[in-house]
Structure 1
Amino acid sequence: MGDMARRISVIDLFCGVGGLSHGLMQAGLNVVAGFDIDPRCRYPFEKNIAAPFIEQDIRTVSKEQLEGLWKPGSIRLLAGCAPCQPFSPYRRGVDTTSEPQWSLLGEFARLAKESRPELVTMENVPRIMSSTIFREFASTLEEIGYGVSFKSCYGPEYGLPQERRRLVLIASRIGHINVPGGERKPGEFVTVRDAIYSLPVVHQGKTHDLDGMHKARALSPLNLKRIKASSPGGTWHDWPTELLSPCHARPSGATFRNVYARMEWDKPSPTITTMSYNFGTGRFGHPEQDRAITLREAAILQGFPKDYEFVRPGEPVEFNPIGRMIGNAVPPAIARAVGSALIAAVK
C-alpha cells in the first residue's frame, strides 16, 4: 500500500459491521475509527477493521472528538451511510418524515461543517436523491466550499454479485472528484455461481460444522414442498394449486412475484435485505439446494469475504440480528471503488 493511500485517514459514521470501512481499506485507506449505536457491531468492526468502535449516538459526537481521532497531518475523510429505512423502496407509500432517522443526515452535515475534513463520502439508497433532506445535505457542503458529485451506482458494474443500486456522494475541498463508474459490463458481472457455488452443501435447519455462519433457517413442511416445486428464476405461479396461500389468489398478492422464489446461478443475486435468510421474503431460495440462502451466503453476496467474522467464536449465531447487520451493510465493492478514486485524485 502506498504512502499516499495511508495519508487518507477515515472516520466511519454509522459504521455497522464495517462494510464501508472494509471497502475503503481494500483500496488502501487508513480507517481510524467507527461510530455506531448498535453494540452488536463492535466485535465485527473491531475484529475485521482493526480500528476502535465507538458506541455513541451521532447527535452527541463533537468536532473535538473527530479531531482527536484523525491522524495528525493526514488528509481527513468523513465517511458514512446514515440509516436509510425512511427512504427504502420497501416502505412505498408510508409517510416516514416523522421518523428519527431523518435527522441523522443533518447530523452528518453538522459534523462536516464543524470539522471541515478535506473529503466527505456518503452512501445511501437512490430514492433519497429526491428528498429535501438530501438536497439540503448536498447544498450545505457546497456552501462551505466543497465540490460535490453524486450518482446512483449499480452494484454488478463494480464487481458486486448482487443487483443492488446505491447512491454515492463524494465531496472534496481539494479539487472536484467524480463518483467513479463501475468497470464491468453485462457478461462480466459476478454471478451467484461465482460467489457461492463452492460453499459446502447445507440442509435446511442445519449449520455447517466448520462455519457457524453457514446456517440455513428451517422450513415448514409446506415451505419445503414449495421450494421443491420452485425452479431458479421461476415464481410461485409455477406451483400446483394446493401449495398456494390465500394471499396469492388475491389481486394484490398477484403482483408480488419475487417472493418464495429461487435465485439463478448465472446472474447476480437480487438485493440482499435484512430478511434474506427467509425463503418467503424474496427471491432468497438457493438455486439448487432445498433451502433459503445461509447467513454466510448472504454476507458473500453482499460483498464480504468468506472469512469475515460477525460473532465472537462460541457465541450463538442468530438469524434476526445478523441478517439485519448484513442487509444494512454498505457493499464493500462500491466503497473500494470510491477509495481508489479518492487516492487517484489525491495523487
Structure 2
Amino acid sequence: MNAKTHHRNFSEYGCRIIQLTVQEIAQLGFIGFPRYPDYLHASPVCANFSQAHTAKAGKGIEMADDMTAAIAVAEAIRQLQPQVFTLENVPRYQNSQSFSIILDALEQEGYLVTYSVVSMDKFGLPQARRRLVLIASRGFRIALPSGTTPCGWYEAIAHLIPTMSNSQLLPKQRQAVEKFLAANEPTPLLLERVGGRNGMKYKPGHLPCNTILRSHFTDHKGCNRSKFADIWLPDGTVKSLSIEGAAKLQGFPDWYEFPNETATAGSIIGYSVPPSFAAQLFTHIQKQLSGAFL
C-alpha cells in the first residue's frame, strides 16, 4: 500500500518504485541504477534503534538485518559513486556498528563527511523530532543547513481544526488539561490519546508537538485506531486530530494524497523523512554545489 501511495503521488514525475529490500538490490548488482548519480539517500530501518523500541525489555538490540542493510548501503556507495550521499535515521543509529560500516565505506571512497543530530523544529517543522542527518561529498565538505524560525503546532494546523471531527477527552486527558489550567492561562492543547509511562503527553499551541510515531495510529494488534490525538481549545471544544493535520505537522505538502486506512497513512507519516526538511536539506546542498562549481 505504501508503494501504491507513492506511485499515485509521484508517477507523473517519472518516479520509479522498486519493491525490494536494499539487500536484495545489492545482490542483483544494482542493475538499472545509474552510475555517478547526483544524489544517493539512505534511511535504513531504524526500529531496533528507536527510543520507543529500546524502552521495551529485551528490545533495542542491533540485529543481523541491520548490519546486512548497512553493508548493502555501503556497497551502493562503492558501486554507484554518487556525487552526494545523505543519510537520515534516529539519533541512536550513530552509536551502532551499522553506522560505522557506512562511515568506513565513505572514508575509503574519499568522501568528506558531516553529521549531527538535529531537531526538526529548528527547520520550521512544528514537531520536536530529533534525527541523525549525514551529508557526504567529494572535493569539499558540505555543512548541514542552519535552519529557520521554529513554529508551534497550533499555527501550523489552525486552519484545519474547524474541519476536524468532534471528540471527547479520555479521563487521563481531562486530568492533564485540569493540571495544566491550574498553573497556566488557557491555550490550545494537543493531547495524545495513549499516555506514556511518564503520564499523559500534551503540548501547548505555541510549542512544536511531540514526535509523531507510526505506533500512534495502530493498536496493539496492528489495527487502525479511530482516534490517535485530540485538540482541546480554550472554549471547551475538543477535536480529533485528523490524518491531514498529522501530515501537516510532519511537513507534508497539502497536495499529497494518503490512503483511507489510518494505519497505512500513519505508517507513511510516522516513518517518513519530513518532506519540508528534506526540501530544505537538498536545496541547501544544491546551492553549495552550485557555488563550488561556478
Q: How far is 1:265 from its partner?
A: 1.3
Question: Is the Cα–Cα contact under 8 Å of residues 263 and 287 in structure 1 kept in the other structure?
Answer: no
Q: Distance in 1 between matches of 2:228 and 2:2?
A: 28
Question: Is the Cα–Cα contact under 8 Å of residues 152 and 209 in structure 2 kept in the other structure?
Answer: yes
- Counterpart of 1:319 (choices 262, 272, 290) is 262
- Counterpart of 2:231 (choices 269, 286, 295) is 286
Deviations 1:279-320 (A, max 9, x none): 999993223343442111110000012231123xxxxx1111
Matched with 1:12 is: none
Matched with 1:121 is: 86
Q: Distance in 1 between matches of 2:254 and 2:178?
A: 24
Matched with 1:209 is: none
Matched with 1:207 is: none
Question: Is the Cα–Cα contact under 8 Å of residues 88 and 134 in structure 2 kept in the other structure?
Answer: yes
AA at the equivalent of 1:65: G
Matched with 2:46 is: 84
Matched with 1:272 is: 212
**Residues 154 and 95 of structure 1: is their aligned pair in 2 closer, same or farther, counting only changes over 3 Å?**
closer
Question: Is the Cα–Cα contact under 8 Å of residues 286 and 292 in structure 1 kept in the other structure?
Answer: yes
Q: How far is 1:141 from its partner?
A: 0.5
Aligned positions, number: 263
Matched with 1:231 is: 177
Question: Is the Cα–Cα contact under 8 Å of residues 263 and 284 in structure 1 kept in the other structure?
Answer: no
Q: Distance in 1 between matches of 2:272 and 2:12?
A: 14
SS at match of 2:280: helix
Q: Distance in 2 between matches of 1:233 and 1:102?
A: 45
- Counterpart of 1:333 (choices 270, 273, 276) is 276
Deviations 1:75-95 (A, max 9, x none): 521112112111101012524
AA at the equivalent of 2:230: G
Question: Is the Cα–Cα contact under 8 Å of residues 228 and 241 in structure 2 kept in the other structure?
Answer: no
The two structures, once aligned, show a CA RMSD in angstroms of 3.3
**Residues 131 and 49 of structure 1: is their aligned pair in 2 closer, same or farther, counting only changes over 3 Å?**
farther
Deviations 1:119-156 (A, max 9, x none): 10111111111112112211210111111110111111
Q: Distance in 2 between matches of 1:232 and 1:120?
A: 48
Matched with 2:33 is: 66
Q: Distance in 2 between matches of 1:167 and 1:130?
A: 11
**Residues 41 and 296 of structure 1: is their aligned pair in 2 closer, same or farther, counting only changes over 3 Å?**
same
Q: Distance in 1 between matches of 2:63 and 2:209?
A: 33
AA at the equivalent of 1:269: C
Q: Distance in 1 between matches of 2:81 and 2:37?
A: 11
Q: Distance in 2 between matches of 1:296 and 1:121?
A: 28
State the TM-score, normalized to the length of structure 2: 0.77
Q: How far is 1:116 from its partner?
A: 0.8
AA at the equivalent of 1:52: R
Question: Is the Cα–Cα contact under 8 Å of residues 148 and 169 in structure 1 kept in the other structure?
Answer: yes
Q: Distance in 2 between matches of 1:98 and 1:178?
A: 31
**Worse-superposed segment, 319-328 or 332-341:** 332-341
Q: Distance in 2 between matches of 1:155 and 1:112?
A: 26
- Counterpart of 1:343 (choices 286, 289, 292) is 286
Matched with 1:193 is: 154
Q: Which runs of 5+ in 2 are unaligned?
A: 182-194
1:143 partnered with 2:89: no
Q: Which runs of 5+ in 1 are unaligned?
A: 1-36, 205-218, 236-252, 312-316
Q: Distance in 2 between matches of 1:300 and 1:232?
A: 28
Deviations 1:244-294 (A, max 9, x none): xxxxxxxxx9942244xx432111111111133579999932233434421
- Counterpart of 2:70 (choices 80, 105, 125) is 105
Q: How far is 1:183 from its partner?
A: 3.3
Percent sequence identity is 24
AA at the equivalent of 1:66: F
- Counterpart of 1:256 (choices 198, 204, 228) is 198
- Counterpart of 1:301 (choices 237, 249, 267) is 249
**Residues 290 and 58 of structure 1: is their aligned pair in 2 closer, same or farther, counting only changes over 3 Å?**
same
Question: Is the Cα–Cα contact under 8 Å of residues 164 and 271 in structure 1 kept in the other structure?
Answer: yes
State the TM-score, normalized to the length of structure 1: 0.66
